[in-house]
Amino acid sequence: MWTAYKILILSYLTTEIWMEKQYLSQRQVNPGAYLTRNHTILEGTRFKRAIFKGQYCSLFGCCKDRDDGCVTQFYEVDALCYCDTFCERENSDCCPDYNSFCREEEEWSPHTQSWYPEGCLRDGQHYEEGSVIKENCNSCTCSGQQWKCSHHVCLVQPEVIDYINKGDYGWTAQNYSQFWGMTLEEGFKFRLGTLPPSSMLLSMNEMTASLTATTDLPEFFTASYKWPGWTHGPLDQKNCAASWAFSTASVAADRIAIQSNGRYTANLSPQNLISCCAKNRHGCNSGSIDRAWWFLRKRGLVSHACYPLFKDQNASNNNCAMASRSDGRGKRHAIKPCPNNIEKSNRIYQCSPPYRVSSNESEIMKEIMQNGPVQAIMQVHEDFFHYKRGIYRHITSTNEESGKYRRLRTHAVKLTGWGTLKGAQGRKEKFWIAANSWGKSWGENGYFRILRGVNESDIEKLIIAAWGQLTSSDEP
What is the number of structural domains in the chain? Answer: 2
- Choose between 101 and 228: higher pLDDT: 228
Residue 393 within a domain: yes
pLDDT reported for residue 69 = 78
Residue 406: per-residue pLDDT: 63
**With contact defined as beta carbons under 8 Å apart, do 428 and 421 qualify?**
yes
What confidence score (pLDDT) does residue 36 get? 37
What distance lies between CA 120 and its chain's CA centroid? Answer: 24
HSE-up (13 A, CA, CB side) for residue 402: 5
120 found inside a domain: no
Q: CA torsion, points 26, 29, 33, 35, in degrees to nearest 10?
A: 60
Judged against a pLDDT cut of 80, whether residue 291 lies above it is answered with: yes
pLDDT digit string, tens, across residues 116-156: 467 888 887 888 888 999 989 999 999 888 899 999 999 99
Q: What is the structure's pLDDT at 3?
A: 57
Greater confidence, 442 or 197?
442
- Residues 85 and 165 placed together within one structural domain of the fold: no
Indicate whether 144 belongs to any domain: no
Q: Which band of pLDDT confidence, cut at 50, 70 and 90, is reported for residue 44?
A: very low
Answer yes or no: do 190 and 294 share one domain. Answer: yes
Label residue 206 by pLDDT band (50, 70, 90): confident
Q: Kindly state whether residue 115 falls inside one of the protein's structural domains.
A: no
- Asked if residue 52 belongs to a domain, the reply is yes
Confidence of residue 96 (pLDDT cuts 50, 70, 90): confident
Identify which has the larger pLDDT, 413 or 67: 413
Q: Based on the fold, state whether residues 261 and 357 are members of the same structural domain.
A: yes
All residues at 6 or more sequence positions from 248 whose CB lies less than 8 Å from its CB, including other chains? 270, 273, 289, 292, 293, 296, 375, 412
Domain contains 242: yes
What one-character-per-residue DSSP string does 198-262 give? PHHHHTSPEE--SS-TTSPPPS-EEHHHHSTTTS----B-TT-B-HHHHHHHHHHHHHHHHHTTT
Using the predicted structure, report yes or no on whether residue 40 has a pLDDT greater than 80: no
What pLDDT, in 10s, does the model give residues 406-418? 666 899 999 999 9
* Domain presence at residue 128: no
**Tally of CB atoms within 10 A around 270:** 28
Residues 99 and 173 in one domain: no
Q: Which residues are catalytic?
A: 411, 436
Say whether both 325 and 407 belong to one domain.
yes
Q: Which residue has the higher pLDDT, 380 or 19?
A: 380
Task: Look at residue 311 in the predicted model and tell me its pLDDT.
Answer: 80
Q: Which residue has the higher pLDDT, 347 or 24?
A: 347
Q: Quote the CA–CA distance of 278 and 300 in Å, as a whole number.
A: 13
**Same domain assignment for residues 290 and 365:** yes
For residues 86 and 185, membership in a common domain is answered with no
Do 55 and 170 belong together in one domain? no
User: For residue 412, what pLDDT is reported?
Assistant: 97
pLDDT confidence band for 102 (50 / 70 / 90) = confident
Higher pLDDT, 78 or 200: 200
Please tell me the distance from the alpha carbon of residue 300 to that of residue 350, in angstroms, as a whole number.
4
Sequence letter at residue 223: A
Mean pLDDT, residues 369-389 taken together? 96
Q: Does 285 share its domain with 376?
A: yes
Mean pLDDT taken over the chain: 82
pLDDT-based confidence at residue 212 (cuts at 50, 70, 90):
low
β-strand 324-326 against 132-135: which pairing, if any?
unpaired
Q: Which of the listed ranges 61-70, 199-208, 348-357 does the model predict with the highest average pLDDT?
A: 348-357
Residues 93 and 234 in one domain: no
Q: How confident is the model at residue 23 (pLDDT cuts 50, 70, 90)?
A: very low
In the predicted model, what is the mean pLDDT of residues 26-51?
A: 40
What values do phi and psi take at 245, rounded to 5?
-85, -40
Residues 301 and 388 in one domain: yes
Query: Domain range holding 454?
Result: 161-465
The verdict on pTM exceeding 0.75 is no
Q: Is 476 a member of any domain?
A: no
Least confident of 115-124, 190-199, 281-290: 115-124
pLDDT score at 37: 36
Q: Which of 4-8, 22-26, 242-246 has the largest mean confidence?
A: 242-246
Higher pLDDT, 178 or 23: 178
Q: Let me know whether 48 and 174 are in one domain.
A: no
pLDDT for res 67: 77
